[in-house]
Chain A
Amino acid sequence: MEASRGNVQKAEQRAGMKKTEKTNKKRSKQDEEEEEEEDQLFNLNNKSLEEDEDLSDSEESVYSGLEDSGSDPDEEEEEGEDGGSDDDDEDEEDEQDQNEKSTVKKSKKKEGGDEEKEVKKEDEYDHDTSDEEDIRNTVGNIPMEWYKDFPHVGYDLDGKKIFKPIRNKDELDDFLDKMENPDYWKTVHDKKTASDIVLSEEQIELVNRLQKGQFGDVNFNEYEPTVEFFSNDVMIHPVTNRPADKRSFIPSLIEKEKVSKLVHAIKMGWIKPRRVQDDSRGRFYDLWANEDSSILAKHKMHLPAPKIPLPGHEESYNPPPEFMFTDEEKALWEQQDPSDRKLPFIPKKYPSLRQVPAFSRFIHERFERCLDLYLCPRQRKMRVNVNPEDLIPKLPKPKDLQPFPTTQALVYRGHSGLVRSISVSPSGQWLVSGSDDGSVRLWEVCSSRCLKTVQVGGAVKSVAWNPNPSLCLVAVTVDSAVLILSPALADKQVISASERLLSAQQEEGPSEGSQPVVWSEMEGEELNQGIRLKIQHPKPVHQVTWHSKGDYLASVMPDHSSHMQVFIHQLSRRRSQNPFRRNKGLVQAVSFHPIRPYFFVATQRSVRIYNLVKQDMTKKLQANSKWISSIAVHSGGDHVICGSYDCRLSWFDLDLSTKPYKMLRHHKKAVRSVAYHRGYPLFASASDDGSVIVCHGTVYNDLLQNPLIVPVKVLRGHVITHDLGVLDVTFHPTQPWVFSSGADATIRLFT
């Protein structure tokens, strides 16, 4: 660094001079070896040259980069000329000291520094690893112990032995020498020459300075102000204005050759592209590939610690008065178990925040917080977020399920007692009703005109119109008798056909007097009214129902104690039989299957289905209700609805299960009657709450599709009388109309 700095200074000085002697610039090729060393300097020189000469001589500045070595001889000459300056000398000396190698080249020498140089050499060569040889002893850099047993320590330049000085100093002598010799402390032993050397003052001083970590040269100022090569200002001229080489624009021929060789090699297949690492062998494999993803998910699941609720007003140091405890609240708080308290502390008021004391329960609270964290459940409870709306099955709108009865159209008035039962003729033109006032009335459906009234002399529990359209008969239950009525409201042929059926001679006649059921023909006044036959039962009959062919009818006498609860009568042969030997419970209602020889018997809790041909029970339906009131069978025969006194209506799909497919609890009070429509997908239920609920019930032929049940309409109109509302409901056979009879002695038609 010293040298370079010196050079810079010289260059600057010289730059000034060079301006004057611009013209006699010449090129000299000497000192080739130095050129390399100082290459860097020349560049710097050039820069300064250019800076100064830029305007005056463009030619020189252009080629200055090429002529960099040319200035060196000038420099040498100039140095020679003005060698008198002190700065120069010192610099030279420093350079010599530092470099140590170029001693030969510099002609100038200083006598005063010779001795010092020697001393320094001794010092340095002891530890220096450089290949500079000590010329006084030619043994080289070897451990001097090797010459321990010899009288000499090596050889000088002339090949003569350097003999050790005769030394017979022992420890004592040494000690004495140390005590007596004042120069002892500055005497060092030179192992190479095996001689003692007494250091001079300068040498000692140098040693001291070095020991202190100072520079060896006294005059060296280590804190000299720096002279910057470059200013930190951005100059208008570039550092080097050398134009780019032509070769930087020309594609390199060598490279081209190399590339073409490679290309050729690739083409010939000599060079193969690097093989793709084949991982299929399983060098790497997914450790968790077979891991259950749910386990991974569980591990991934982040469970945040429970948060402390934010402080409220009552935790304020100055809570609003409504948060302060009253006396009762305070007393209550103190009485309560700590776990029951609403607040874990009593709100307190302080005039200022400064007066709030330290929180006495701090540790306790932190402990509880830790408990909270520690006891926090580490498993996430999977809560299903379901919109309640979605759980409701998508049902079609009632509007789309037209037609169904919506409004009351006609009221059939005439009865004076509650109308227990109604039935519609198969043609849909007539309606028969039986009432507690002891009359059976026949109505024209379309005009609500009562065409006939038949007094039967007793409360009518049940009426049933024969479903066979080629017959015109009505079965009526009065007390313990079933009356067969011929209303004569049909074509003459139909009337005569029913007459023939009724007058057909019984085969057995009253042969067995012990028959529980007695058939008898009516006479006189009752015959004029149209009552043709009387089937006397042992007990009050509650229900009568026809088989779809119209020859058989079944009657029900609910009685716990008897096994004779159900009778099946055959009209054409005037025969009755009790199909059941044993009492299986209180029979509520019976019904024939519309197509197959099945018979439905509803007891209080269940519905039994009997096969009349095989004479055994095929199925038992559990209604899940306390007391079945009524039963209706779908016209297809595969579905049954039951109404019960505990407000329910249960729909059974016989193909599906013996349990109800659906329970409808729309009524507020006991369901009295249920009915299916013969053609339309409708069913209705009548209840003591005075309403008739009409539901849409589509039945699919496809066994996989469950029936679609949609409540479509609540029909009101009947007045609740004596806690009884609607007692019977039945559909019109062809129109989507429903009839209902009520305790208010009316029958209503809803269309």
Chain B
Amino acid sequence: MSQLQARFFTEDQRYVVDDVPFSIPAASEVQDLSNVINKLLEAKHASHSRVEFDFLVKGQFLRTQLATHMETEGISTEDVVEIEYVQRITAPEPEECIMHDDWISSVEADSEWILTGSYDKTARIWSLEGKVVTTVAGHSDVVKDVAWVKRDGLTSLLLTASLDQTVLLWEWNSERNQVKARHCCRGHTGSVDAISTDPTGSKFCSGSWDKMLKIWSAVPTEEADEVEESADRPRKKQKTQQLGLTRTPLMTLSGHNEAVSSVLWCDSEEVCSASWDHTIRLWDVEAGVMKTTLSGSKVFNCISYSPLCRRLASASTDRHIRLWDPRTKDGTLVLLSLTSHTGWITAVKWAPSHEHQLISGSLDNLVKLWDTRSCKAPLYDLAAHEDKVFCVDWTDSGLMLSGGADNKLYTYKYSAAQTDAGA
């Protein structure tokens, strides 16, 4: 079995070759196959410049010899092998290294600005080039999570959640570069570890160490909500100088037995939360009830949802990234495990424009770029950090960000996003 019959196809119209079977050596690897395609393309168009390709056999990336791959995947070598090829995703290029004063706990970027939360009790807004725009200070304790709410024109709304058990809703005028705390969301009795804004930007959800999820309104108003103050708190007033108007939650979702570590909106009606009690729960926000429970065996640190492939990716303390189908009723079905990290995985994020790719950050100082079609090994290891990675993000414009305990926020230019957009 030294030769195999293979037929190459692609969805990228620029690199289509003739649909005829070729006889290729069974021991050929990715580079050999790439050479074959380039030769074919050169024969077709004289102007072709060399492109590196990756190859998929039955939806799995080819990483070893073709024969070995087919043997492990259990694909018959008698038939003609259908090999799909895509332009190889080029390695993400490190762009900026943004220094912070303290550990970076969270990051969220949109097309223009980067918002980071830090252990120095502040959040900062950065330009994509890495210049600090403004510092959002006001929390009395570590900022654990940040989120953009809405940006229309020059004013933006943003959220910061902190260990001091509050979530602050800020209004930021980018022109005047002024930050004003509009609301102070009180109600949690533990540190608020996760916040997430709903797709319409009118509500947000927060998850806390006190095991609760709370839904809040994200619309700034001029009125403070009534807070039933307990009478026996003489010291409270003199202690904290409250920023902004107090806001109370619209709804409280309780059901987790342990701290909530991550929340997100699957759509405008549905909230998904991950917890240290080894479950991922889906909540119906309208009704305020829990819909589904996905049970794992280890603590979940982070979850991410991709509307493109409709999968949940979870980051656990047992070094595996697991993919879940949130619509399944039987809540223990893991679709896929991505295993390569050696420490707790603290953050995971789907690519906004690619249904197969995601990045993960771990306590082993590595950020990894994954393709779900190659679950044995990641596409790239981004070994920029010198300490624990706590947060990762991925913008629509193809920028990947990661921050961690080395006080650095790295940005990576990820070029394959637009070339591979059709995939």
Enumerate chain B residues within 8 angstroms of A446, measured Cβ to Cβ. 261, 301
- The reply to whether the CB of A427 lies closer than 8 angstroms to some CB of chain B is yes
Q: Are A429 and B405 in contact (CB under 8 A)?
A: no
In the bound assembly, the distance between CA atoms of A496 and B388 in angstroms comes to 35
Q: Are B343 and A491 in contact (CB under 8 A)?
A: no
Q: Are B297 and A429 in contact (CB under 8 A)?
A: no
- The reply to whether the CB of A575 lies closer than 8 angstroms to some CB of chain B is no
Interface of B is mostly: loop
Q: Are B390 and A493 in contact (CB under 8 A)?
A: no
Q: Are A491 and B210 in contact (CB under 8 A)?
A: yes
Q: Are B189 and A410 in contact (CB under 8 A)?
A: no
- The reply to whether the CB of B235 lies closer than 8 angstroms to some CB of chain A is yes
Q: Are B210 and A451 in contact (CB under 8 A)?
A: no
Q: Are B189 and A493 in contact (CB under 8 A)?
A: yes
Q: Chain B 252-269 against A: per-residue CB contact (8 Å), 1 yes, 0 no?
A: 000000110100000000
- The reply to whether the CB of A635 lies closer than 8 angstroms to some CB of chain B is no
Q: List A389-425 residues whose CB lies under 8 Å from chain B.
A: 402-403, 407, 409-410
In the bound assembly, the distance between CA atoms of A449 and B363 in angstroms comes to 13
**How far apart are B340's CB and chain A's nearest CB, in angstroms?**
15
Quick one: which of A444, A492, A751 contacts B317, CB cutoff 8 A?
A751
Q: Are A409 and B363 in contact (CB under 8 A)?
A: yes
Enumerate chain A residues within 8 angstroms of B236, measured Cβ to Cβ. 492
**How far apart are B198's CB and chain A's nearest CB, in angstroms?**
26
Enumerate chain B residues within 8 angstroms of A492, measured Cβ to Cβ. 165, 233, 236
Q: Are A449 and B276 in contact (CB under 8 A)?
A: no
- The reply to whether the CB of A46 lies closer than 8 angstroms to some CB of chain B is no
- The reply to whether the CB of B344 lies closer than 8 angstroms to some CB of chain A is yes
Known: A447-B103, A734-B258. A403 touches B209 (CB 8 A): no
- The reply to whether the CB of B190 lies closer than 8 angstroms to some CB of chain A is yes
In the bound assembly, the distance between CA atoms of A427 and B319 in angstroms comes to 24
- The reply to whether the CB of B184 lies closer than 8 angstroms to some CB of chain A is no
How big is chain B's contact interface, by range? 20 to 34
- The reply to whether the CB of A658 lies closer than 8 angstroms to some CB of chain B is no
Q: Are B297 and A491 in contact (CB under 8 A)?
A: no
Quick one: which of B142, B190, B259, B301 contacts A491, CB cutoff 8 A?
B190
CB nearest neighbor in A for B235: A496
- The reply to whether the CB of B167 lies closer than 8 angstroms to some CB of chain A is no
Q: Chain A 731-746 against B: per-residue CB contact (8 Å), 1 yes, 0 no?
A: 0001100000000000
Q: List A440-491 residues whose CB lies under 8 Å from chain B.
A: 444, 446-449, 451, 491
Q: Are B189 and A447 in contact (CB under 8 A)?
A: no
Q: Are B191 and A447 in contact (CB under 8 A)?
A: no
Q: Are A751 and B344 in contact (CB under 8 A)?
A: yes
Q: List B375-410 residues whose CB lies under 8 Å from chain A.
A: 388, 390, 405
Quick one: which of A410, A427, A451 contacts B344, CB cutoff 8 A?
A410
Quick one: which of B209, B276, B344 contacts A409, CB cutoff 8 A?
B344
Q: Are B210 and A447 in contact (CB under 8 A)?
A: no
In the bound assembly, the distance between CA atoms of A751 and B142 in angstroms comes to 25
In the bound assembly, the distance between CA atoms of A156 and B233 in angstroms comes to 176
Known: A409-B344, A491-B210, A496-B233. A429 touches B190 (CB 8 A): yes
Enumerate chain B residues within 8 angstroms of A403, measured Cβ to Cβ. 297-298
- The reply to whether the CB of B299 lies closer than 8 angstroms to some CB of chain A is yes
In the bound assembly, the distance between CA atoms of A491 and B390 in angstroms comes to 24
In the bound assembly, the distance between CA atoms of A194 and B409 in angstroms comes to 169
CB nearest neighbor in B for A410: B363
Q: Are B210 and A409 in contact (CB under 8 A)?
A: no
Known: A410-B363, A734-B276. A429 touches B258 (CB 8 A): no
CB pairs A–B below 8 angstroms (17 shown): A402-B297, A407-B319, A409-B344, A427-B190, A428-B259, A447-B105, A448-B388, A449-B119, A491-B165, A492-B165, A492-B233, A496-B233, A496-B235, A735-B276, A735-B299, A751-B299, A751-B318
- On B, residues with C-beta under 8 Å from A are 103, 105, 119, 142, 165, 189-191, 209-210, 233, 235-236, 258-259, 261, 276, 297-299, 301, 317-319, 343-344, 363, 388, 390, 405
- On A, residues with C-beta under 8 Å from B are 402-403, 407, 409-410, 427-429, 444, 446-449, 451, 491-493, 496, 734-735, 751
| 3 cross-chain pairs, A with B, having the tightest CB-CB distances, nearest first | A491-B189, A751-B317, A409-B344
Given contacts A449-B119, A751-B317, 6 further A-B contacts (CB under 8 A): A429-B259, A449-B103, A491-B165, A491-B189, A493-B189, A735-B299
